[in-house]
Structure 1
Amino acid sequence: HWISEMRAHSAAPMLHIAEACVAEVPADARQVAVLATGGTMMSGFYQHSLRERGITPIEPNQAVQQHVSDCIREVKAGNIPASAEALSPAIRMLAEQGAQAVIMGCTEIPLAARPLSSFAARLGVPLIDSTLALARATVAFAHDRGWLLAPAA
C-alpha cells in the first residue's frame, strides 16, 4: 500500500489515520464496518489496514452508502438532527450484518453520531472517530519520544 512505500523513502515519521483507527478496534472484533465517502470506500484506504490486522471489513451496501451520503450532506448543511436520523439506519444495518465496531472515516460522520452513541452502545457496536483516533495516536507518538512539554504550573 502507498504508506509503506512512502515510509520506505522517508526518514520522517508518518502516522496513518487508518492505522490509528484500527488500533482502537476492540481486541475481540473480527468484523468491522467502515463509513466514509464513496471515494474513500473505493480507495480501500481503511479496508487495507483492517485486513493487515486480520480483521474482515464489512463494506456498506448501496442502501447503507446512501444513508452515509445523506448524513454527510445534512452535516454540511448544518442540520445535525437530520444527519443523525440519516445515519442511525446505517449503523443498525451494519450491526445486523455482524459489524462489531464501526470506523467513522469521514470528518462529518462523528458530528452526526454524537447523539447516537447510546443507540450504538445498545447495538453493541462501538463507533471509532477517525479524527480523534489520529489525534490520540499523535499525542501518544509525541509522548513516547519525549516531545511533549510539561504543563505550565
Structure 2
Amino acid sequence: MDKHVGIIGGMGPDAGVEFFSLLIRKTREMTAASTDQDHIHVTLESNPKVANRNVAICEGEGVKECGDAMEAAARRLKLVECDFAVLVCNTAHYFQPSVIKGLSGTPFLSMIDVCLNNIEAHFAEMKSRSTVGILGGKGCMVGRVYQGALEKRGIEYFVLDEARQDKAMEAIYCVKQGKIGEARTTFKPLLDYMVSQGVKSVILGCTEIPIIIKEDFELPEGVKFFDSCDLLADTVVRVAKGLENLEDVL
C-alpha cells in the first residue's frame, strides 16, 4: 500500500507548488502511473505566513516564531496521520528540532540528509571526492545547515563570500517576486565564480534556485549539480510507492 506523505511548504509558495508538481511527474516516470489512483496521497501544509527564516537566523528576530510555526505545521500533519513528513525549504531545516517535536513520532525525512546521501553515492561511483560548493539562502549559510552536515561526513566545501552571498539573496528574492529573468541575470555570475574556483560539485541548497536554472539557463560544463528539491522528490516517490524502505533513507 502507498504511503501518505505530509509536506511542510509555503516557504516560498512557488517552491512548494513546484515540489508537488515534481511528485506528480516523477510518479508517472518511475511507476508508469496512468490513473488518478496510481498517484500518491499527499497533504500539503502550505503556510507562507511563517516569519522570514533568513532574518530570524541572521538577525535573531522571530526565531521563536519560526520554531513555533514549524512545530504547529508538523502537528497538523500529525493529525492527518501521514506516514512520514518532509520540509520543502532548506533554510527552515535550521528549525528541524521543532518539526520533529511537532511530528511526535511520525518519521521525518530530511532534505539535507537526502542530498548528502546522493553526494556520497556520487563520490563512491566516481571513486574520488571533491570540494562541494553550496548555493543557498543567507540563513542557510549563517545557520550552517549544510556546512555542519558536510563536516560530519568529512566532506570539504566552498561557500561564497559575504558580498556574493548578498547577491545570491537578491536572486532568491527576485524568484519570490516572480522576476525570474532578473534572478537569472543576478545569479549566473555567482555560479560562474564558484566554478572558476575549481568547484566540480554544487548543492542547489535553496528551493528557489532550481526555478532560476530551469529550461534555457546556460549551465557550466563538467559540473555535477545536486538539486536538493529534486532529490527529495525522487526519494519521496520511491518510499511512498514502496520502491525503497523508509528506514533505509532516514
The reply on whether 1:134 has 2:226 as its aligned counterpart is no
- Per-residue CA deviation, residues 43-96 of structure 1 (Å, 9 max, x unaligned), is 111112222332112121123212211211221221212111111111111112
Alignment of 1:108-119 (within 5 A): 108-115=208-215, 118-119=218-219
Alignment of 1:31-70 (within 5 A): 31-70=131-170
1:17 aligned partner: 111
Distance 1:24 1:85 in 2: 29
Distance 2:137 2:152 in 1: 22
Q: Which runs of 5+ in 2 are unaligned?
A: 1-93
User: What letter is aligned with 1:113?
Assistant: I
CA distance 1:88–1:29, change in 2 (3 Å): farther
CA distance 1:84–1:29, change in 2 (3 Å): farther
Residues 32 and 103, structure 1, Cα contact 8 Å, conserved in 2: yes
User: What letter is aligned with 2:227?
Assistant: D
Alignment of 1:86-105 (within 5 A): 86-105=186-205
Q: How much has 1:141 moved relative to structure 2?
A: 3.1
Higher RCO structure (Cα 8 Å, ≥6 apart):
1
Q: Which runs of 5+ in 1 are unaligned?
A: 147-153
Partner SS state of residue 78, structure 1: coil
Question: Runs of 4 or more off by more than 3 Å in structure 1?
Answer: 1-4, 115-118
1:76 aligned partner: 176
Residues 132 and 155, structure 2, Cα contact 8 Å, conserved in 1: yes
User: What letter is aligned with 1:24?
Assistant: N
Residues 137 and 206, structure 2, Cα contact 8 Å, conserved in 1: yes
1:85 aligned partner: 185
Residues 17 and 134, structure 1, Cα contact 8 Å, conserved in 2: yes
1:149 aligned partner: none
TM-score by length of 1: 0.77
User: What letter is aligned with 1:23?
Assistant: N
CA distance 1:133–1:76, change in 2 (3 Å): same
RMSD: 2.9
